[in-house]
Amino acid sequence: MWDIRTEQYAVFERVAEAEFEDRAIAQLRESLPDRVGGMADDFLRGRVRSAMLRAGEYELDTEIEVLYFLNVSFLLGDAQFDTNPEFLWARDILLGGGDPAERAEALFDAASARGLRPEGETA
């Protein structure tokens, strides 16, 4: 039987996070090329990490749930859309209770219906 030490587990965890970040960046570049085409991978990696933390505050923890949350941040042009008073509807969805996967998908659908906004621009 093998025992995995805490230090080893931390290394495995970091590798898994880095692989997720790479997949998330690739997904952004494929699905939102006009939005992220000019952005450096390091910048996008920071956005992915931020989205992981922020999504976790709403119990959105699976890969697809975090990807929905991340994509919404680009669709709305605001990395902190979940605390922006302009997007109270998004916060209502996030705090609405129920299944996290359903909330994540509902959030994405609602943001998609509102269309793209240039990064950093508010209404």
The whole model's pTM is what? 0.86
Q: Does the pLDDT at position 122 exceed 50?
A: no
Q: What is the mean pLDDT of residues 69-87?
A: 95
Closest CA to 64 of 17, 21, 101: 101
| Per-residue pLDDT at 7 | 75
Read off the pLDDT of residues 90-110 as tens digits, 9 standing for 90 and up: 999 999 989 999 999 999 999
Binned at pLDDT 50, 70 and 90, residue 116 comes out as low
| Separation CA 20–CA 37 (nearest Å) | 19
Q: Give the pair of three-digit tokens for residue 38.
A: 């000019």
